Amino acid sequence: MKSTNINYISPEKVGYFMFFQYLINGLSIGSVYALIAIGYNLVYGILELLNFAHGDVYAVGCFVTFSLILMKQNPILAILGGMLVGYIMNRIVERFAYRPIRFSGRVTPTISAVGIAYIMRNIIMKIWGPETYPFNIGLRGSKIEFGNFVFGTLQIYIFVIAISFMLLISFLLKRTKLGQSIIAISQSIPTSALVGVPVNRTISMVYGIGGALGVIGGILYCIYYQSIFLGIGFMLGTMKAWMSTILGGIGSLKGAVIGALVLGLTESLVGGYVSSLYRDAFVWGFFMIFILIRPKGLFPAQISEKV
Partner 1 sequence: MISKNKKINYGLIFAVITMFIPLIVKDEYQLRIVNIVLLYSIIALSINLIVGFAGQLDFGRAAFVGLGGYWSAIMVVRLNVPFIISFISAGLFCALIGFVLGMLCRRSTFDYLTLITIGFNVICLKIFLNWHPITNGAMGIRLIPSPVLLGFKFDTNFKFFYFALGLLAICSLIINRITHSKIGRAFEAMRDNPIAAAYSGISVANFKVLNFSIASFFTGIAGAAIVHYNNYISPFNYSLDESIYQLQMAILGGLGSLPGSILGSAILVIAPEISRTFYDYRLMFVGFLMIAMMLWSPNGILGKNGIGEKVIGIRNLILVKKNKKSTKKIINHRR
Enumerate binding residues for partner 1 (CB under 8 A).
48, 50, 96-97, 100-101, 104-112, 114-119, 121-123, 125-126, 239, 242-243, 246, 277-278, 280-281, 284-285, 287-288, 291-292, 295
The distance of closest approach from Cβ of residue 98 to partner 1 in the complex, given in angstroms and rounded to an integer, is: 10
What phi and psi values does residue 244 have, to the nearest 5 degrees? -70, -30
Other beta carbons within 10 Å of 73: 15
The distance of closest approach from Cβ of residue 77 to partner 1 in the complex, given in angstroms and rounded to an integer, is: 30
The distance of closest approach from Cβ of residue 53 to partner 1 in the complex, given in angstroms and rounded to an integer, is: 9
Closest CA to 46 of 210, 230, 158: 210
The distance of closest approach from Cβ of residue 295 to partner 1 in the complex, given in angstroms and rounded to an integer, is: 6
Closest to partner 1 by CB, 15 vs 295, is: 295
List of residues 6+ apart from 41 with CB closer than 8 A: 241, 245, 248, 250, 251, 252, 253, 255, 256
- Residue ranges of alpha helices (H) inside the chain are 11-47, 54-70, 75-93, 107-127, 153-175, 177-187, 189-194, 199-225, 239-248, 253-269, 279-293
The distance of closest approach from Cβ of residue 101 to partner 1 in the complex, given in angstroms and rounded to an integer, is: 6
Closest CA to 164 of 202, 222, 239, 216: 216
